[in-house]
Amino acid sequence: MTSSRPRPNYRDGYRVFRRIQTRWADNDIYGHVNNVAYYGWFDTAVNALLIERGALDIQHGQTVGLVVETHCNYFAPLAFPQTVEIGIRVAHAGTSSVRYEIGVFAEDAREAAAQGHFVHVYVDRDTRRPVPLPGPLARLAAELHA
């Protein structure tokens, strides 16, 4: 009988990393980072990367990304005041969508404390209808493809 229980990914499976400092408010009454903080880290890490690389202009761009799916598995607790390192890779890029896979690592840890994914569908800012990935975004998605 084989187990379908997810196993933590290794650091070397991700293309790029972002460091995030945990905050006091991230901890819950159980003394570890609450699950909702992980989803904020996913969003922060991916969108900051897209903005830095010129693939997304959140204030003036005509294309915006909407999250249509998200998932996370947890393997080890994290707590304030740890610094976490968020690994990012792209599992799939379609005509108007990208599936980002994210690993959350304790600083210098080899295995993910948590890992998950989210799917952005890129749409026109005004009509909210899907649009093809703009060139800079398509190139970055290809660069991050695992």
| DSSP output for 18-34 | EEEE--GGGB-TTSSB-
**pLDDT (0 to 100) of residue 64:** 96
**pLDDT (0 to 100) of residue 1:** 56
C-alpha count within 13 angstroms, C-beta hemisphere, residue 69: 9
Q: Rounded to two decimals, what is the model's pTM?
A: 0.93
**pLDDT (0 to 100) of residue 4:** 85
- Can you list the residues of the chain whose pLDDT is less than 50? none
The radius of gyration of the chain from alpha carbons, rounded to an integer in Å, stands at: 16
**pLDDT (0 to 100) of residue 69:** 97
Pair of tokens at residue 120 = 């952005």
